[in-house]
Chain A
Amino acid sequence: MEFSAPSPDNAIDQLKIVGKPTTRIDGPLKTTGSAPYAYERHDVAADQAYGFIVGAAIAKGTIKAIDLREARAAAGVIGTVSTLDYSPLALGPMNTANLFGGAKVEHYHQAIAVVVAETFEQARAAAALVRVDYARSEGEYSLDRAAHTAVSVPPEEGERRAVGDFPSAFAQAAVTIDREYTTPGHSHAMMEPHATIAAWEKGRLTVWTSNQMIGWGKRDLCKAFGLKPNQVRIDSPYIGGGFGGKLFVRSDVMVAALAARVVGRPVKLALHRPLIINNTTHRAATRQRIRIGAERSGKIVAIAHDSISGNLPNGKPERSVQQTTLFYGSANVAVDLRMAQVDLPEANAMRAPGEAPGLMALEIAMDEMAEKLGLDPVVFRIMNDTQVDPTKPDRHFSERNFVECLRTGAERFGWSDRPAKPASRREGRWLIGMGMAGGFRNNQLQPSAARVRLRRDGKIIVETDMTDIGTGSYTIIAQTAAETMGVKLTDVVVVLGDSDFPVSAGSGGQFGAVNSTSGVYAACIKLQSLILERLGFDSADATFVNGKIQVGSRSVTLKEAVQSGELLAEDGIVYAKGYEERAQQSTFAGHFVEVAVDSFTGETHIRRMLAVCDAGRILNPITARSQVIGAMTMGAGAALMEELVVDTRFGFFVNHDLAGYEVPVHADIPHQEVIFLNKVDPWSTPMKAKGVGELGICGVAAAVANAVYNATGVRIRDYPITLDKYLANLPRPD
């Protein structure tokens, strides 16, 4: 099904099942521990051996020799694999750091060997016996030191970085700010470690793994091992979180596959937790500069956003400036994205790459600007709303209700009660403050396919390589199929995550829900036509309701329709070339936060959080809410505690476990309220929905930061906002 124009009314608009609060269909499995994750697939392959990965002990250099003798002689060991035995495995197009093979060490804890044994305990002990001789080389591990060497990254196709004349407009603006902000590296820190069981059978590789993007994974495995598509299968039905960290096949898949070949048995392994942070990818640290110029009335006339991040050679920058060309109306905009080379582990996508750190800075700057203008920050943002793409004013937003997000949020949160003067509200030892920020994230269109079967028992079976990483894909796909086919939710069976199924959008960039359900919708429409064809019905006025096909006075149950054999339809959604360029599809949020800061110790407690989201039609308010509260939680972490601490001498992330890399715990998170505007966006897809899972994090950290400022009167521009940064300036009770 090609989508080339805003969607007319369709089966989804019935909203009998789609759009209704629906608890997860996989809920009973997940709450009882019955949903099998990658490392737990005892049933899929007999005789599984255990692998344990050895990570490089240096950040940069060469491996001169690896002595595996002791490891191989250790109890229970059945095989070893050394990076020196292979050339570097070819990488997929979106990765930078070598995953395995060769003598070159590009980053700390790079996988350099694996030991396979009969048991996990044996493999782990033997891995400690691997002796490695390194030649260290000099590296650059400090973004601050490297920043001056950063070079501008050329715009991607269609990316607009400037409009008007920023320098003159800024120079002439009545009110200006020019500020620098820093954000640290972040780790996905998903709860399920990267894990894989790999098995070879007759030259065909199967991996049971934990991966967000099955299609990409299969492509990259084919490339790495020189296999044809029919020689690789990936199965990933349950994924214990990804947040971008499992967009790509990682070293666990590569070395499990190699090890399984070497020992001639299925091999299972997981990245042990202390290895994950340096072995895998992370969100890059940034150094950002924002300049805003406005008229005295508050109208922004000039805005510039520069960002520097670091990565390995040939890596990608953190695109922290991308929202700045679209979020607020300004006739003069200039953004610059620069990258410096640092020899830390690979920087790559993490939940809302670009916008998440970009808005951490931009939305503090907006708060600072509002203050300087003497405007309420909500009012200031409303004044500068735009309904068109500022870099191309004849291009409109498909739907943009940012102002309504802000107004609704302000009203619901009791924003009018915010102390206008910072550090002016006290409750005993606590300083109380409120902050808000805008959220922005684009909606991306990606092709997505599915296969839908009408089984002889009348059940609808949906198969697609789409993944459910906690996003609720199982449930919204079932809702989509049930709605379209006119059956009950319980009459739909959804099977996901298998690369033998049609290729979906996958889970990333908040494009999963909207595109994968659209693909399922397309396949269902095709199935409808096959059913009608078999029944000899005229398709024009047929309806699918209550498990029946109805044409005029004739009515046949779905079950009856397939008495002679089941029907199978495969189709997907694709988007006409240039369609996305016709209108800007984005999602918006208003985030509101109240904090209490201990005036003695500087400890911050978040007391309330509210998000008002404009993200098209909400397919399932329960799972969508969960995506947003989860993202708000991650945003709270980014605001107050999350930071990959770099040892700039030895070149690694020091706090490389879950005790060192602190993420929010229960006690950090208060009641969270989420309001969806639920505005249908026919431009997006037949589902008229948009992404929401990343929108939820965009702006949250800045809202917290602004609340801390409002509480304390101390402005911190360097995340995370930990007490050591403002203690000295924190007003004590008199």
Chain B
Amino acid sequence: MNGSGKWRVSRRGVLAGGSASAAMATMLDAQPSHPRRQADIPVYDVSFTVNGEPRTLSLDPRTTLLDTLREHLQLTGTKKGCDHGQCGACTVLVDGFRINSCLSLAVMHEGDRVTTIEGVGSPDHLHAMQRAFVQHDGFQCGYCTPGQICSAVAVLKEIEAGVPSHVTEDLTATCVPSRAEMRERMSGNICRCGAYANISDAMAEVAGVNV
């Protein structure tokens, strides 16, 4: 603190309890105000593979798969947009199925096979879908992009596997990767930059769909 008076501990704060003076002392000498606590929370071991690599972790059971990837394994390609299943930025593949990794606990994935964007491709070895996204500018800020790409890869497989969608005309006929099918199925991945039309072009190219 350089005493400019613009950032001072208020009197009210001092009166409110002991915390302010503790904070003040900390600010002056930049020492931790509390000793580190050992967590008195149960910890669970969990093992799964991520992008083919076996991983074993000891985790607070509250840790989501998303935070496990981002914070514990430092695989930050998977994004957190909402943490509540409302955006799709956290999409990863588990045993080949795309899921929102924010709404799943890591401990629920014992033995699972997790694929993240880092496992889809790398800057030097782009997956066809990643290349198509670059070519068609299927992104802007890039924050929703890993989730979009993981979803896009899975969507083409879902269509192949005959999983119906809201726009499937005939439930019993063979699913085809039309533009409308892809748009509907990608709708769990929000892009506020609004790259949808370009993502659609990128996917159409990979799926070999004309226009």
List residues of A whose CB falls within 8 A of some B CB.
Answer: 23-24, 26-37, 39-40, 42, 65-68, 72, 75-82, 84-87, 89-90, 101-103, 118-122, 125, 188-193, 200, 203, 223-227, 238-243, 261-265, 270, 272-274, 469-472, 622-623, 625-627, 629-634, 657-659, 663-672
Contact = CB atoms under 8 A, between A and B. Distances in A.
Interface string B79-117: 111111111010000000000000000000000000011
Interface string B22-47: 01001100111110110111000000
B194 interface: yes
A226 B27 contact: no
Question: 4 closest A-B pairs (Cβ-Cβ)?
Answer: A33-B77, A633-B194, A240-B143, A470-B140
Nearest to A125: B62
A89 B9 CA distance: 10
Contacts of A34: 77, 118, 122-123
B141 A469 contact: yes
B191 interface: yes
Contacts, number: 301
A191 B141 contact: yes
Interface string B186-208: 11111111111111100000000
Contact of A191 (B3, B12, B36, B81): B81
Contacts of A79: 26, 32-34
B39 A227 contact: no
A32 B124 CA distance: 10
Contacts of A265: 32
B87 A633 contact: no
B169 to A, nearest CB: 14
Given A42-B76, A82-B20, 7 more contacts: A26-B142, A76-B41, A84-B20, A86-B7, A119-B60, A120-B67, A658-B84
Contact of A657 (B26, B34, B86, B120): B86
Given A33-B77, A34-B123, A629 B32 contact: no
Most buried by A among B6, B17, B89, B194: B194
Contacts of A622: 137
Contacts of B188: 665
B31 to A, nearest CB: 5
B160 interface: no
B6 A90 contact: yes
B115 to A, nearest CB: 12
Given A31-B145, A85-B10, A626-B137, A262 B33 contact: yes
B5 interface: yes
Nearest to A83: B13
A669 B141 CA distance: 19
B81 A658 contact: yes
A332 B52 CA distance: 71
A189 to B, nearest CB: 5
Contact of A240 (B26, B70, B142): B142
Contacts of A672: 197
Nearest to A37: B143
B144 interface: yes
A627 B134 CA distance: 15
A193 B81 contact: yes
B39 A33 contact: no
A667 B146 CA distance: 19
B74 A27 contact: no
Contacts of A263: 26, 32-34
Contacts of B8: 86-87
B71 A120 contact: yes
Contact of A262 (B23, B146, B192): B23
B37 A118 contact: yes
10 contacts: A37-B76, A67-B17, A86-B8, A189-B192, A191-B192, A273-B84, A629-B194, A658-B81, A658-B190, A669-B197
Interface residues of B, number: 94
A425 B93 CA distance: 45
Most buried by A among B9, B83, B200: B83
Nearest to A633: B194
A239 B76 CA distance: 14
Nearest to B82: A273
A264 B27 CA distance: 8
Contacts of A78: 32-34, 36-37
B174 interface: no
Contacts of A27: 133-134, 137, 139
A76 to B, nearest CB: 5
A666 B199 contact: yes
A365 to B, nearest CB: 26
A75 B184 CA distance: 44
Contacts of A471: 140
Given A42-B74, A241-B141, A658-B86, A82 B13 contact: yes
Contacts of A39: 70, 80
A240 B137 contact: no
Nearest to A240: B143
B210 interface: no
A219 B179 CA distance: 48
A121 B60 contact: yes
A201 B26 CA distance: 14
A470 to B, nearest CB: 3
Contact of A630 (B19, B85, B140): B140
Contact of B84 (A77, A227, A659): A659
A200 B20 contact: no
Contact of A658 (B10, B32, B87, B183): B87
Contact of A264 (B31, B39, B124): B31
B7 A33 contact: no
B20 A72 contact: no
A264 B26 contact: yes
